[in-house]
């Protein structure tokens, strides 16, 4: 029975994560987001290509996928398959859901297994699994972005900090959960490999904040 629970959780979470929110929002506007800007379907590229409203919508929708997989889908499947699951089984299923929902977003089956970088979806997962660790890495993201005005620098810095934040905020220190978040952080950094190349070349775009025009 536990094996069935793991399989059902992984499949459900992957399919939830695979919903290509950014692509769908772009299509609704008559734009293939994959052919615009960086070609990524995530919130950052949608923000640049379609504006603040569309970017915020995709950001929250992608984060919601991660939260729903861990906080809703995994417990429902645990109860459906096992009747009265042990707390340990439910915790493992939540972790399974967290991993596979991010994989679904990053490698969606609906777009030839090409998707986003998983930052927003990972944030939704972390809200459910390790909220205090998320608060730490969100602070790191804000600081790194404020200094550089480069979104990818903030994301890479936050991803690098994630396992340490998990270790510090889990009580008692949870080596297994730390290892899982280390793997998630490594995956996020890997998905930013092109950004890292552009950073090395000095061509990674910075966010420009428009200045208000002076009154005539």
Confidence band of 1 (pLDDT split at 50, 70, 90): low
Q: How many helices (H) and strands (E) would you count in the chain?
A: 11, 0
- Residues 73-88, mean pLDDT to the nearest whole number: 84
- Residues 185-200, mean pLDDT to the nearest whole number: 96
Q: Does residue 5 surpass a pLDDT of 70?
A: yes
- Residues 136-160, mean pLDDT to the nearest whole number: 96
Do residue 113 and residue 13 come from a single domain? yes
* Residue 213 located in a structural domain: no
* Residue 78 located in a structural domain: yes
Q: Does residue 212 surpass a pLDDT of 90?
A: no
Do residue 69 and residue 123 come from a single domain? yes
Q: Tell me which residue of 72, 100, 94, 174 sits closest to 132, measured CA to CA.
A: 174
Do residue 6 and residue 110 come from a single domain? yes
- Residues 107-123, mean pLDDT to the nearest whole number: 95
Domain final position from 105, 128, 151 = 128
Q: Within 10 Å of residue 186's Cβ, how many Cβ atoms? A: 14
Do residue 105 and residue 135 come from a single domain? no
Residues comprising the chain, all counted: 216
- Our count of domains for the chain comes to 2
Q: State the chain's mean pLDDT as an integer.
A: 92
Query: What is the predicted pLDDT for the residue at 216?
Result: 47
Confidence band of 57 (pLDDT split at 50, 70, 90): very high
Q: Which domain does 170 fall in, by range?
A: 130-207
Do residue 144 and residue 71 come from a single domain? no
Range of weakest confidence among 9-13, 102-106, 135-139, 171-175? 171-175
DSSP class per residue in 17-59: HT--HHHHHHHHTT--GGGSTT---SHHHHHHHH-HHHHHHHH
Do residue 170 and residue 76 come from a single domain? no
Instruction: Quote the percentage of the chain above a pLDDT of 70.
Output: 95
Helix axes 131-148, 119-129, angle to 10 degrees: 150
Domain final position from 68, 97, 128 = 128
> pTM score, two decimals?
0.91
Residue 173, token pair as written in the block = 């220190």
Rounded distance between C-alpha atoms, residue 5 and residue 182, angstroms = 24
């Amino acid at each position: 029975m536990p094996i069935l629970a793991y399989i059902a959780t992984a499949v459900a979470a992957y399919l939830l994560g695979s919903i290509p929110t950014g692509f769908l929002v772009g299509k609704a506007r008559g734009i293939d987001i994959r052919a615009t800007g960086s070609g990524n379907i995530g919130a950052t590229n949608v923000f640049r290509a379609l504006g603040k409203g569309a970017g915020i919508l995709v950001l929250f929708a992608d984060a919601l996928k991660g939260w729903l997989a861990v906080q809703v889908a995994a417990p429902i499947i645990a109860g459906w398959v096992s009747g009265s699951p042990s707390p340990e089984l439910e915790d493992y299923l939540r972790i399974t859901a967290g991993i596979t929902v991010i994989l679904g977003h990053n490698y969606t089956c609906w777009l030839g297994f090409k998707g986003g970088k998983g930052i927003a979806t990972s944030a939704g997962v972390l809200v459910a699994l390790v909220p205090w660790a998320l608060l730490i890495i969100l602070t790191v993201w804000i600081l790194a972005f404020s200094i550089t005005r480069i979104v990818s620098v903030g994301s890479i810095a936050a991803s690098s900090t994630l396992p340490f934040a998990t270790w510090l905020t889990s009580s008692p220190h949870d080596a297994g959960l730390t290892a899982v978040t280390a793997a998630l952080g490594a995956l996020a950094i890997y998905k930013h490999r092109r950004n890292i190349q552009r950073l090395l070349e000095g061509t990674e775009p910075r966010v420009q904040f428009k200045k208000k025009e002076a009154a005539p």
